[in-house]
Structure 1
Amino acid sequence: MKAISVKERQLGVNFNGNGEAVVEVWAPKAEKLEIRLQQDNTRIALTKEEFGYWTTTTEKLKPGDLYQFVLDGDQEYPDPSSVSQPEGVHGNSQALDVKAFNWTDENWQNIPLEDYVLYELHTGTFTPTGTFAALEEKLDYLKELGVNAIEIMPVAQFPGSRNWGYDGVFPYAVQDSYGGAEGLKHLVDVCHQKGIAVILDVVYNHLGPEGNYLGVYGHYFTDKYNTPWGPALNFDDAWCDGVRRYFIENLLMWFRDFHIDAVRMDAVHAIKDFSPTHILREMKQFVNQLMQETGRTHYMIVELDLNDNRFINPLEEQGFGMDAQWIDEFHHALRVTATGENTGYYGDFTGIAHLAKTYKDAYVYDGQFSPHRNKTFGIKAERNPGKQFIVFSQNHDQVGNRMLGERTSQLTSFDMQKLLAGAVMVSPYLPMLWMGEEYSEPHPFLYFVSHTDPELAEAVRKGRKEEFAAFHAEGEAPDPVAEETFNESKLQWDLLNQEPHQTMFKWYQTLLKLRRELSALKNLNRHNLEVEAMENQKTLILHRWHDAEHIACFMNFSQEEQKITVPSFIKQSKKLLDSGAPEWRGNADGPDTVEAGATIVLGPESFLMYTNA
Structure 2
Amino acid sequence: MNERHFGAKLTSEGAAFRLWAPAAKRVELLLEKPYPLAAGRHGWFEIEVPGVKAGTRYKYRIDGEIDVPDPASAFQPEDVFGPSEVIDHASFTWRAEDWRGRPWHETVLSESHVGAFTPQGTYRAMIERLDHLVETGITALELLPLADFAGSRNWGYDGVLWYAPDSAYGRPEDLKCLIDEAHLRGLMVFLDVVYNHFGPEGNYLGRYAPSFFTEAQTPWGSAIDYRVPQVRAFAIENALYWLDEYRFDGLRLDAVHAITELGEIPMLHDLSLATGEFAAQTGRHIHLVLENDDNTVGVLDPIQDPPRGKYRAQWNDDYHHAWHVKLTSEKQGYYRDYQRAPLSDIARCLGSGFGYQGEASEHRGGRARGKPSGGLPPMAFVNFLQNHDQIGNRAFGDRLESHVKPEAIEAALAITLLAPAIPMLFMGEEWGSKAPFPFFCDFKGGLAEAVRKGRRDEYAWAYATYGDDVPDPLREATFESAKLDWENRGGSGRARLALVRELLAIRRRYIMPRLAGARFGEAQASDEGMLNANWRMDDGARLSLTANLSDRAIIGQSCERRGTPIWGTPEDTMKPWSVCWCLEAR
TM-score range, shorter chain: over 0.9
The yes-or-no answer on 1:330 pairing with 2:319 is yes
User: What is the rounded CA distance, in whole Å, between the counterparts of 2:316 and 2:565 in structure 1?
Assistant: 30
Question: Out of 359, 368, 373, which is 1:368 matched to?
Answer: 359
Structure 1's 612 and 302: CA in aligned 2 closer, same or farther, altered over 3 A? closer
Residue number in structure 2 paired with 1:585: none
User: What is the rounded CA distance, in whole Å, between the counterparts of 2:353 and 2:3 in structure 1?
Assistant: 38
Q: Is the 8 A contact 1:311 1:319 kept in 2?
A: no
The yes-or-no answer on 1:45 pairing with 2:33 is no
TM-score, scaled relative to structure 1: 0.90
User: What is the rounded CA distance, in whole Å, between the counterparts of 2:512 and 2:80 in structure 1?
Assistant: 50
Structure 1's 496 and 244: CA in aligned 2 closer, same or farther, altered over 3 A? same
Structure 1's 245 and 611: CA in aligned 2 closer, same or farther, altered over 3 A? closer
Question: Out of 8, 22, 29, which is 2:16 matched to?
Answer: 22
Letter in 1 for 2:418: V
Residue number in structure 1 paired with 2:274: 286
Residue number in structure 2 paired with 1:250: 238
Question: Out of 469, 480, 483, which is 1:490 matched to?
Answer: 483
Give the superposition deviation at 1:72.
Answer: 1.1
Residues 376-401 of structure 1 deviation map (CA, whole Å, 9 limit, x = unaligned): 22111233222221110110001100
Residues 559-611 of structure 1 deviation map (CA, whole Å, 9 limit, x = unaligned): 222232448xx626565434xxxxxxxxxxxxx545xxxxx222222323345
Residue number in structure 1 paired with 2:192: 201
Give the superposition deviation at 1:187.
Answer: 1.0
User: What is the rounded CA distance, in whole Å, between the counterparts of 1:343 and 1:84 in structure 2?
Assistant: 41
Q: Is the 8 A contact 1:520 1:545 kept in 2?
A: no
Structure 1's 126 and 406: CA in aligned 2 closer, same or farther, altered over 3 A? same
Structure 1's 196 and 30: CA in aligned 2 closer, same or farther, altered over 3 A? same
Residues 88-115 of structure 1 deviation map (CA, whole Å, 9 limit, x = unaligned): 1111111112333111222111110111
Question: Out of 140, 153, 174, which is 1:162 matched to?
Answer: 153
Letter in 2 for 1:486: F
User: What is the rounded CA distance, in whole Å, between the counterparts of 1:163 and 1:213 in structure 2?
Assistant: 19
Question: Out of 33, 53, 67, which is 2:27 matched to?
Answer: 33
Give the superposition deviation at 1:233.
Answer: 1.1
Residue number in structure 2 paired with 1:212: 203
User: What is the rounded CA distance, in whole Å, between the counterparts of 1:565 and 1:389 in structure 2?
Assistant: 28
Residue number in structure 2 paired with 1:605: 577
Question: Out of 335, 338, 342, which is 2:331 matched to?
Answer: 342
Which 5+ residue runs of structure 1 have no aligned equivalent? 1-5, 579-591, 595-599
The yes-or-no answer on 1:302 pairing with 2:294 is no
Which 5+ residue runs of structure 2 have no aligned equivalent? none
Give the superposition deviation at 1:422.
Answer: 1.1
Letter in 2 for 1:487: E
The yes-or-no answer on 1:89 pairing with 2:80 is yes
User: What is the rounded CA distance, in whole Å, between the counterparts of 2:239 and 2:105 in structure 1?
Assistant: 22
Q: Is the 8 A contact 1:479 1:485 kept in 2?
A: yes
Give the superposition deviation at 1:491.
Answer: 0.5
Percent identity of paired positions between Structure 1 and Structure 2? 35
Q: Is the 8 A contact 2:57 2:86 kept in 1?
A: yes
Give the superposition deviation at 1:159.
Answer: 1.3
SS of residue paired to 1:147: coil
User: What is the rounded CA distance, in whole Å, between the counterparts of 2:179 and 2:521 in structure 1?
Assistant: 36
Q: Is the 8 A contact 1:34 1:46 kept in 2?
A: yes
Give the superposition deviation at 1:521.
Answer: 8.1
Structure 1's 526 and 368: CA in aligned 2 closer, same or farther, altered over 3 A? farther
CA RMSD in angstroms, aligned pairs only = 2.2
Residue number in structure 1 paired with 2:6: 11
Letter in 1 for 2:22: P
The yes-or-no answer on 1:263 pairing with 2:251 is yes
User: What is the rounded CA distance, in whole Å, between the counterparts of 1:522 and 1:445 in structure 2?
Assistant: 35
User: What is the rounded CA distance, in whole Å, between the counterparts of 2:278 and 2:535 in structure 1?
Assistant: 37
SS of residue paired to 2:102: coil
SS of residue paired to 1:191: helix
User: What is the rounded CA distance, in whole Å, between the counterparts of 2:407 and 2:516 in structure 1?
Assistant: 27
User: What is the rounded CA distance, in whole Å, between the counterparts of 2:510 and 2:357 in structure 1?
Assistant: 30
User: What is the rounded CA distance, in whole Å, between the counterparts of 1:531 and 1:313 in structure 2?
Assistant: 22
Question: Out of 476, 496, 499, which is 1:504 matched to?
Answer: 496
User: What is the rounded CA distance, in whole Å, between the counterparts of 2:513 and 2:545 in structure 1?
Assistant: 11
User: What is the rounded CA distance, in whole Å, between the counterparts of 1:425 and 1:529 in structure 2?
Assistant: 18
Matches within 5 A, 1:211-610: 211-236=202-227, 240-312=228-300, 320-349=309-338, 350-373=341-364, 374-451=366-443, 453-472=444-463, 475-476=466-467, 477-499=470-492, 501-519=493-511, 522-523=514-515, 527=519, 529-535=521-527, 537-544=528-535, 546=537, 547=539, 549-566=541-558, 571=561, 575-578=565-568, 592-594=569-571, 600-610=572-582
Count of paired positions: 577
